[in-house]
Chain A
Amino acid sequence: MKMKKLLMKKSASDNVYFHPDFHCAMNIVIDYLEKKYGKDAVKEYLRRFSATYYRPLTEKIKRKGLSALKQYIEQLYKKENGKIDILYKKDVMTVLIKRCPAISHIKKMGYTIARSFDETTKSVYPAILESTEYECEIPIYNKKTGKAVLIFRKKK
């Protein structure tokens, strides 16, 4: 017999905040912005978002150097079940992204990766670092998999 009423009551502490489908939503955001307003709009939006939202991280990098960014990236990929290697020296850090959780999930859910999705890396890190003494270079980025090499170093 079917229950006439179903009831579910949850408090925030009953679950861990982790909703990977938001990667798909971000993919739609990027695709929409690019198709409607152009690639510059994607970059401008991501720069603004990063400069605003990641400001505490930027301030930490100013105080502690690249170790703050290292800690942030390690936690980010651990939480998302990504695979990375980090080669770290005081003023140079190379991050090898071996599995991008965002792209893996978007593909798993059947979406096509937005052409400018790479800007969620390529525009975000430079914006985080803009007012610091560090810069970011991305010599390798595979748009289909998200595998990438990111190099962070002191500005010349």
Chain B
Amino acid sequence: MISCTDFIPAYNELFKYLEEKYGKKAVIEFWNYISDKYLTHLRKLVKRYGIKGCWMYWSKTLNEEAANFTMELDREKRQFKIIMHYCPSKGRLLKTKHITAYPDYCQHCDVLYRRVLEPLGFEYAIDLTECNKAKCKVIVKQK
């Protein structure tokens, strides 16, 4: 058994494996697939509760992942925001000196969540300009 706490390095090595063997297209194909199969709970919550579904989903996952974050739900603006001060996933890859992070590792967060949220009528924006410091910002807005 691989520990659930070792999933992030396993995920990272998977991206490297897929790109090396089958090219970048294979990585994107996988991201689309895992978005469809794994983010079913996010999809259900957002369908049922609208923008608040984002708050409900990330309240659980970010706490379980022991992230350093600020999260805000603004009902008037119909906007949900995550400011990731230190991402536990990317942070783990940066701290683990005997492995190297897949160069486009953080890109998966753009592909996976956009694929769920945009078809449900939301705008999804992610700022990855500081992702090499394990920082990012996500804004979800109801159209």
Chain A positions near chain B (C-beta within 8 angstroms)? 2-26, 28-29, 32, 37, 41, 44-45, 48-49, 52-53, 55-56, 76, 79-80, 82, 97, 100-102, 105, 120-121, 124, 146
Contact = CB atoms under 8 A, between A and B. Distances in A.
Contacts of B5: 17-19, 22, 79
Interface in B59-110: 59, 61-76, 85-86, 88, 96, 98-99
Nearest to A9: B70
Contacts of B1: 76, 80, 82, 97, 100-102, 120-121, 146
21 contacts: A3-B75, A4-B75, A5-B73, A7-B71, A8-B72, A9-B71, A12-B68, A13-B66, A15-B63, A15-B65, A15-B66, A17-B64, A22-B7, A23-B4, A26-B2, A28-B34, A41-B21, A45-B14, A53-B6, A53-B10, A76-B1
A7 B58 CA distance: 12
A22 B38 CA distance: 10
A80 B3 CA distance: 7
A8 B70 contact: yes
B4 A14 contact: no
Nearest to A23: B4
Given A8-B72, A23-B7, A32-B34, 17 more contacts: A4-B76, A8-B69, A8-B71, A10-B70, A11-B68, A16-B66, A17-B88, A19-B61, A21-B4, A25-B38, A26-B2, A37-B21, A49-B13, A76-B3, A82-B1, A102-B4, A120-B1
B55 to A, nearest CB: 6
Contacts of B30: 32
Contacts of A48: 13, 17
Given A17-B65, A24-B38, A100-B1, A8 B9 contact: no
Contacts of B96: 53
Interface of B: 1-11, 13-14, 17, 21-22, 30, 33-34, 37-38, 55, 59, 61-76, 85-86, 88, 96, 98-99
Contacts of A11: 68, 85
Nearest to B71: A8
B2 A124 contact: yes
A131 B68 CA distance: 38
Contacts of B85: 11
A8 B64 CA distance: 14
Residue among B2, B10, B66, B70 with the highest chain A CB neighbour number at 10 A: B2
A11 B71 CA distance: 12
Given A25-B34, A28-B37, A10 B17 contact: no
